[in-house]
Structure 1
Amino acid sequence: MSVALPAYAYSPVPSYAALPRPNEEDTVEYTPRQGRTTAQFATITKEWRDVTIIFRNQETSSGPPTFGRNSSCCGEIGLENSKDILTITLKLEGRISLSASDCGSTVQKIVDQRRTIWDQAESGRCPSVVGFAVAFPVTYTDQGRVCRLPPTYETICLGSPLLVVKCGYSLTIKITKARTRKIGFWKTSSKTYTTNVVFRPRTRPARPILENPSFFSTVKAAPSEWLQMSITIPTRKNATLDPISCHFMIPSVQTFCFSEDIPFHIQLCGSLVSLREFYGSVSAEPRQQEERPRKRQFAAIIRVFLARQVFVEINGRETWRNITVGEGKLRPIPPVASDGPDVNPSEASVDWEGEVRCKSDVNCASFNISHLVVKDFIILAITPANIRTSQMLPMQHAHPIRLVTDGWTDQDLVHPQDR
């Protein structure tokens, strides 16, 4: 059966202006957004010998066509020879493929949208250009549970267990033509044309990060902008040293764009003896009797990185893998001299600051559906020097965060007409 699409389905998205036109009212509220008001839309073209599919209103002219939440996969089909075309049907399909070496594999279809965009019996001869539009559903149902449609995502985790995850979408155009008429019947032939499309719902933080990410310069003026995590570096069972306290600070919004830097601050507090043990040095044994003992320096390692955990459930069994998706850069902060009466000369603190950002190949936000969960963490890992002989033990603390597609830009609070 042919389904007639409304007229607006073939129309491109209207062009909205950042500022009111002469015949429009003035702006009530102005919220600047990075790169959105001046974006230049591009066109992506997929060509075959006799068929061309054009996707308009794309942010870039390279790569597969990309669509967001509550959007329609729309465009135009150019036909070399449209005279004998009987029907043109369109199918938007989405699948989730999960495979693990210890759980087996499974494939689930989550989208199956079909449309007849041209029928000669109802509309007459087919034109050389036909518009189409098919909407991405907001949700899908899995065993009675309603889940949000996941973004396009693909990863292969080598090692044990081997884990392969693919969530992809495709658009298929089927063109049926009449060839010859024999014994009162038309003999038809059909061809299909398939192209991958990307579904990437856009998300952003609830508020921006401070313009000045330095902890010491902002903590007194805006303490609520920082989240502090207090961890104790563990010691061995029979240790005689006092433990070291570690304070790890990140922006309290805890939602970050994967193309922006995430600032952090680290402070180690403890006795001078414990801190010296943490940094430590050890004497190496002489190679020969006449040689003097050599001092070999061991450096403590402090690392901040981003990790993505991919959790799957296949055939009733669960497995997961962790992937490092970003490495932080640390800078030591010189200590501040304090000569006050309350200063304890046997206590000290050491500070670092830095930023961590996702790798350039990370382009999917975290999400959660029935059999697939993609979660992100910021991790602080501390390894004392002389790990074999030190009374301190390694420590690792993981804090869940959310990575999103867009950042919040709050650098320009002035409306363009007020400049």
Structure 2
Amino acid sequence: MSLPASISRLPSYTPSSPPPSYFPDPTNGEQRIYASGRIRSRPTGIYTKKSSGITVALTEQDSSKPFYDRQGIVNGFILAEDRKAISEVQIELIGEMDLSVPEYGAGNVTLFQNVHTLWKLSSESDQPSSRSNICPNTIPFACIFPLTFVSNAKDPTSARNSLPPSLDISFLGTLSASVKYLLKVRVIYERYPPFHLWNRVKTTSLSLNYYPRSRPPYPLNLGPDLFTDLKIAPEEWHQTISVVKSNREDVVSSVDCHLFVPSLRIYGLADTIPVHIGLTGCPRSLRHFLYSPDSDELRAKNLSNPGSLMSVQIIRQVCVKVDGIKAVRSTVIGEGKVREVPPHIDEFVQLEYDEERVTLHWEGEVRCFETTTLGGFSTSHLSLKDFIILRVNPVSTDSGFSSHQVEVSIKLVTDSAGIDF
């Protein structure tokens, strides 16, 4: 049987060329768009505490402080003295929030309280002192941090909030807040002598640091030139427009202020956050806002030091609620710098005509202080909320303008994008 002509005329094939060589780092003409971070190795040490004849050891920890992530598992073991007299061993994982507003009072919120019995003397044994009823030399345990807590313990149907991190915040004379997590170990001994009314109990407590980590869903993929990047990819920026109102509209008109930050508005504590600022108005208004008409010295100072015209900060707002009373305080947790972007100011403000509106540009960066270690969060009783604050200041009190402030709400998280936990 002969093959069809279409099959007999199939073209010949040659082996494919080998795949190109790949390198871990970019070569000429290439750039790294995104790189996944390496997984951090877990601690392998043991944290121990000995008190009242009880030794508690926490595994997978550094020797200095025990830290736990979101839904972290507290693993360890217990050793107790006088094992023959022990009748019961318990552990209790506790979360507490203490709030205080001196003018109105204080409050305590129990986030959770989980008790576990690790070992108990059998009441049915005919020989309480037998080897099978002696407390083991080493008692292992494992308990887990819950993901959420009930905002109102008296109402189980109330809203659930994520567990806040361990913290201790105080504003002298105004408000204070602390969140603490404890592991309590309780060893109960048989009544001795037998006619005593109460069992002898020994207790020891360990402070645990709860530090839930999170990161942005993707990194800040922005180019080195913010002004160009703003034109090419405007969707990557969040714009806030506000009006710097004139106090003398008959002399100078108002100026529009544009603040741009990366559109995601979720940033890691170590991220450098780019910002872009634009002031739009007629040349006459910009002259009054940016320069002192009677002082060349002050004018030169502001040209060389944009920071005297505007400043960028990260502000953290701490909100505490006690018995329905809300107290709010703010603190600076980050600073930034801005610089002028060409075309320079002189090319516009010295124009003679005032009909056409023009825009002056600045760019810069802002980041958190290294001492900032907590991300933002919100619960029914306590919240940490963060903002990028731009302050724009006229150089003269006779300018016809007042100082202007722009706020952009952001969310700060513990890690940068690409960091694997």
1:283–1:295 CA contact under 8 A, matched in 2? no
Which amino acid is the alignment partner of residue 73 of structure 2? S
**Shift, 1:303, TM fit:** 1.0
Q: What is aligned with 1:405?
A: 414
Q: Are 1:278 and 2:289 matched, yes or no?
A: yes
How far, CA to CA, are the matches of 2:68 and 2:274 in structure 1? 31
- Residue 92 of structure 1 corresponds to 93
Query: 1:171 and 1:265, CA in 2 relative to 1: closer, same or farther beyond 3 A?
Result: same
Name 2:27's counterpart in structure 1. none
CA contact (8 A) 2:77 2:141 kept: yes
Give the deviation of 1:295 after TM superposition: 5.6
Q: Equivalent residue of 2:218, what SS?
A: coil
Matches within 5 A, 1:91-130: 91-121=92-122, 124-130=133-139
Distance between the aligned counterparts of 2:102 and 2:250, measured in 1?
A: 43
- 2-structure distance, mates of 1:62, 1:127: 28
Counterpart of 1:174 in structure 2: which amino acid? R
Q: Whole-Å Cα distance in 1 between the matches of residues 335 and 260 of structure 2?
A: 17
Task: Give SS of 2:281's match.
Answer: strand
Q: Quote how far apart the aligned CAs of 1:216 are.
A: 2.2
Q: Distance in 2 between matches of 1:212 and 1:410?
A: 21
1:158 aligns with 2:172: yes
Q: 1:146 aligns with which of 143, 148, 159?
A: 159
Change (3 A) 1:87 1:207: same
Do the aligned residues in 2 keep the contact of 1:233 with 1:246 (CA within 8 Å)?
A: yes
The match for 1:378 is 388
Secondary structure at the residue paired with 1:390?
A: coil
Task: Encode CA deviations 1:350-389: one digit per residue, 9 max, x unaligned.
Answer: 3222221122232222222222232111111111111x22
Tell me the TM-score normalised to structure 2 length: 0.76
Deviates more, 1:346-355 or 1:226-235: 346-355
Quick one: which of 39, 42, 46 aligns to 2:41? 39
Q: Which residue in the other structure is 2:272 paired with?
A: 261
More strand by share: 1
Structure-2 change in CA distance of 1:296 and 1:365 (3 Å): closer
Counterpart in the other structure of 1:199? 210
Q: Which runs of 5+ in 1 are unaligned?
A: 1-30, 285-293, 412-419
Q: What's the counterpart of residue 246 of structure 1?
A: 257
Alignment correspondent of 2:5: none
- Aligned 8 A contact 1:256 1:407 in 2: yes
Inter-CA distance 218–98: structure 2 relative to 1 (3 Å threshold) = same
1:172 equivalenced with 2:175 (yes/no): no
Q: CA RMSD in A?
A: 3.1
Indicate which of 330, 352, 363 corresponds to 1:322.
330
Q: From 360, 382, 385, give the equivalent of 2:370.
A: 360
CA separation in 1, counterparts of 2:244 and 2:112? 49
How many correspondences in the alignment? Answer: 361
Contact 1:46 1:53 in 2 (8 A): yes
Contact in 2 for aligned 1:331/1:352 (Cα 8 Å): yes
1:166, CA displacement in angstroms? 1.2
Q: 1:54, 1:345 → 2: CA distance? A: 78
For structure 2, the 5+ residue unaligned runs are 1-33, 124-131, 303-307
Moved more, 81-90 or 190-199: 81-90
- The share of aligned pairs that are identical, in percent, is 29
Deviation at 1:264, TM superposition (A): 1.0
